[in-house]
Structure 1
Amino acid sequence: MENHGSVVTHLLSQVKIGMDLTKVVLPTFILERRSLLEMYADSFAHPDQFIKIVDQPTPRDRMVQVVRWYLSSYHAGRKSQVAKKPYNPILGEVFRCHWDQEGEPLENNTCKQEVGDGPVPWCSPDQLSFVAEQVSHHPPISAFYAEHVNKRIQFDAWVWTKSKFLGLSIGVHNIGRGLVTLLDVGEEYSLTFPNGYGR
């Protein structure tokens, strides 16, 4: 492996205070092994918390459950690993995945009804499906969408991640919004994304 001292010196020679860090060339060994689009799927690492939103009896209870899910979405990604910068997705890159609802029996896939369209057409209506796409290169904007067909709940979002060198720290600003939509009760919950700072 390369001498880490020379790597640090090389990185520091590229940055100035206030500089956009997306312009800095990083060696691959310090990058996350997955794309930013895949990392956005971590928001649903606790799909049960998201799906439970529609099961709440009152608007107040549903709002509290939105907050529970939102806070749980920031817990999942780091399993005692150091946070790393993910790979930048290329324009038009797409990531799709789905989760089984906990407690639901897993049936033979040949017997399951498929949704047929939507973010993950091969999903069944009782699965939470997710799709993310890089929709702009300059500025780098990602859009993502999740839905549970049977529970009639959707989440759509867009985010533009900006990072800056602040001298002794790094700041990551997430510009964008997310919207949880409950189709049966006609409620929408608008969310923003937190900024992060590291030393």
Structure 2
Amino acid sequence: MVKEGEEKKRVVLTNPLTLDGDSSVDYGAPNLLQRILSLFKNVGTGSDLTSFQLPAMFNFPKSQLQCFGESVYCVGNDMVSSINKMESPVERFTCVVAWSISTLRPVMFGLAPYNPILGETHHVSNANLNVLLEQVSHHPPVSALHATDQDQNVEMLWCQHPLPKFRGAWVETEVHGKRQLKLHNHRETYEMNSPKLLIRFLPVPGVDWVGNVKIKCPETGLEAELCYRANSFLWRRKNYRAIKGKIYQSSSSNILYEIDGHWDRTVTLKDMNSGKTRVIYNATEVLSGLKTPTVKDLEAVWGSESAAVWSEVNQAILSKDWEKATEAKTDVEKKQREVLKGRESVGETWVPKHFKVTCSMEGSWDCSPIHKWVPPAPIVIPL
């Protein structure tokens, strides 16, 4: 657990993930696939990998908490404001579908972000959108996100619980937890889930977002079903990062629109009444020219901030000093174990600072923010 009263470390921020991956790191380790497979030689098929620790040479300089947050605050245009301005429920819903697609980022094969430590936070502002994340559980790993825009009267509530499992030739990660986008001016709540992340080693190495996503708005009765398709072994361009789906009225199951395209390029919407097709999402427009966050007020940065917790590891990886990166990462993990041991010795139960957390008997997690509005952050996206 991170304590905010601790001495602050320096803050090392890195480029956001883009359509081309993280260009801030030129990683070219020899025999990469063999080295990755060697990590799993003693891991059984079907094993839960949530406690699996990667060596630093397999990390890129960013916490998973930051990757999670970037999908909300690192965008080329303000899609959420556009949603809020739409006049009809159907128009808003189609824009929500496009926004949901925009939260995906390409993942680099062979590299992964750090597993956040308990109590780690990430707090960033992009104009009027203030985003706060907290790692509310370490085993199992659970991340909570709360984002608000008071001017637009918009709120996002996400709870993410990834469950990676080793399947022999691939690792499959189910991302449990619901995501909500609330448009308070329209009294509408949109609920959705996340696709799975598939890391394939053989026969062709690659990473895909796959599986089904359902988006629904209880107030309007509108629903959408999206299917993210895995790449074929032949790597045909038309199948690469493909997405298909539909938007329909839940009460009648009447299909209003068909969705087709590629989530890293363009996605189109076909009106089933008129037969007309239009583009609802252009990844190049949304995910190009993304700006790296900067520190506006260093003194206000919490010691629990991701970019502070992992600053030494970040700097070592950026310098390609793998020995130092390993030492720095080991130091972070060692301190976490020491804090846990000390807490257990006095029977202390850790409580998140920014969320109320509950877990059902079935293992379903729910995270509710303590405060109504997220305050402006000392780390900002440059205008």
How would you bin the TM-score normalised by the shorter chain? Answer: 0.7 to 0.9
1:99 to 117, 123, 126: 126
C-alpha contact (below 8 Å) 1:11/1:24 kept by paired residues: no
C-alpha contact (below 8 Å) 1:178/1:192 kept by paired residues: yes
The runs of at least 4 consecutive aligned structure 1 residues that moved more than 3 Å come to 1-10, 80-83
2-structure distance, mates of 1:191, 1:180: 9
* 2:79 paired with 1:49: yes
Instruction: Please give the secondary structure, in 2, of the residue aligned with 1:139.
Output: coil
Aligned to 1:69: 99
Q: Compared with structure 1, are the counterparts of its residues 81 and 25 closer, same or farther at alpha carbon in structure 2 (3 Å cutoff)?
A: closer
In the TM superposition, residue 192 of structure 1 has moved relative to its aligned partner by 0.7
User: Unaligned stretches of 5+ in structure 2?
Assistant: 1-27, 201-383
Q: Deviations over 1:78-130 (max 9, x none)?
A: 4x854632111111111011113xxxxxxxxxxxxxxxxxxxxxxxxxx1111
2-structure distance, mates of 1:33, 1:7: 19
Higher relative contact order, structure no. (Cα contacts within 8 Å, ≥ 6 residues apart)? 2
Aligned to 2:137: 136
C-alpha contact (below 8 Å) 2:65/2:122 kept by paired residues: yes
In the TM superposition, residue 3 of structure 1 has moved relative to its aligned partner by 7.0
In the TM superposition, residue 42 of structure 1 has moved relative to its aligned partner by 2.2
1-structure distance, mates of 2:66, 2:29: 28
Aligned to 2:175: 174
Comparing 168-177 with 40-49, which one deviates more in the overlay?
40-49
* 2:25 paired with 1:24: no
Q: CA RMSD in A?
A: 2.2
Q: Compared with structure 1, are the counterparts of its residues 180 and 94 closer, same or farther at alpha carbon in structure 2 (3 Å cutoff)?
A: same
Q: Deviations over 1:142-193 (max 9, x none)?
A: 1001111101011101010110111111101100001111111111000111
1-structure distance, mates of 2:94, 2:29: 49
Aligned to 1:59: 89
Instruction: Please give the secondary structure, in 2, of the residue aligned with 1:185.
Output: coil
Number of matched pairs? 170
Q: Compared with structure 1, are the counterparts of its residues 83 and 62 closer, same or farther at alpha carbon in structure 2 (3 Å cutoff)?
A: farther
C-alpha contact (below 8 Å) 1:159/1:175 kept by paired residues: yes
In the TM superposition, residue 51 of structure 1 has moved relative to its aligned partner by 2.1
Aligned to 2:116: 89
Instruction: Please give the secondary structure, in 2, of the residue aligned with 1:21.
Output: coil
User: Unaligned stretches of 5+ in structure 1?
Assistant: 101-126
1-structure distance, mates of 2:70, 2:111: 14
Percent identity between the aligned chains? 28
Aligned to 2:299: none
2-structure distance, mates of 1:39, 1:190: 21
TM-score between both structures, scaled by the size of structure 2: 0.42
C-alpha contact (below 8 Å) 1:14/1:24 kept by paired residues: no
Q: Compared with structure 1, are the counterparts of its residues 14 and 81 closer, same or farther at alpha carbon in structure 2 (3 Å cutoff)?
A: same
2-structure distance, mates of 1:197, 1:15: 17
Letter in 2 for 1:12: F
Letter in 2 for 1:159: Q
In the TM superposition, residue 20 of structure 1 has moved relative to its aligned partner by 1.3
2-structure distance, mates of 1:31, 1:130: 24
Q: Compared with structure 1, are the counterparts of its residues 24 and 14 closer, same or farther at alpha carbon in structure 2 (3 Å cutoff)?
A: farther
